[in-house]
């Protein structure tokens, strides 16, 4: 078993981050990181939505890239909003699929799109980051 280093960010906006192996079991560890951060910030009400989002993002990294490690970060970005980020070393762009109704997979980004206020990705020199934000909707996922 690989130990996961989880630590608060030293500077900038309050946040938590962990480097996880690109393996299916990392989804559970990513959910734990996100739910713990939300509980610490008093945002437990959106924990179900946020943990589903991070689970889909890390599962995409595991399934669609050849990365060995991925960084999961959750950051408090102001006005009661949070940003969930999964960074990996792949430069393949995330694509929102249109799976057949009987398909057993392929709906991850559809869920992220439906559940988050906004989401996107950014390519950089060593790979990409895929992010989603919660908390700016009028129905208030984060309160």
Residue 9 lies inside a defined structural domain of this protein: no
Residue 139 lies inside a defined structural domain of this protein: no
pLDDT-derived band at 136 (thresholds 50, 70, 90) equals: low
Domain containing residue 27: 14-94+106-134
pLDDT-derived band at 49 (thresholds 50, 70, 90) equals: very high
115: left (phi over 0), alpha (psi -120 to 50) or beta: alpha
Q: What percent of the chain has pLDDT over 70?
A: 79
The rounded Cα 1 to chain-centroid distance in angstroms is 22
CATH code assigned at 77: 3.30.565.10
Residue-wise pLDDT for 92-131, tens only, equals: 888 777 766 665 565 678 899 999 999 999 999 999 999 9
Residue 5 lies inside a defined structural domain of this protein: no
Residue 99 lies inside a defined structural domain of this protein: no
**pLDDT given for residue 37 in this prediction:** 94
Rounded to a whole number of angstroms, the CA Rg of the chain reads: 14
As for how many domains the chain has, the answer is 1
Instruction: Assess whether pLDDT exceeds 70 at residue 52.
Output: yes
């Amino acid at each position: 078993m690989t130990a996961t280093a989880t630590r608060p960010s030293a500077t900038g906006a309050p946040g938590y981050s962990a480097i996880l192996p690109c393996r299916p079991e990392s989804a559970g560890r990513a959910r734990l990181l996100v739910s713990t951060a939300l509980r610490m910030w008093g945002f437990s009400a959106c924990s179900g939505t946020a943990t589903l989002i991070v689970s889909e993002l890390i599962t995409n990294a595991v399934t669609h890239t050849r990365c060995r490690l991925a960084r999961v970060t959750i950051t408090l970005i102001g006005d009661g909003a949070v940003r969930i980020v999964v960074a990996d070393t792949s430069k393949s762009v995330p694509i929102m699929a249109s799976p057949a109704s009987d398909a057993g997979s392929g709906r991850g980004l559809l869920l992220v799109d439906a559940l988050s206020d906004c989401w996107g990705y950014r390519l950089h020199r060593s790979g990409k980051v895929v992010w989603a934000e919660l908390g700016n909707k009028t129905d208030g996922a984060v309160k």
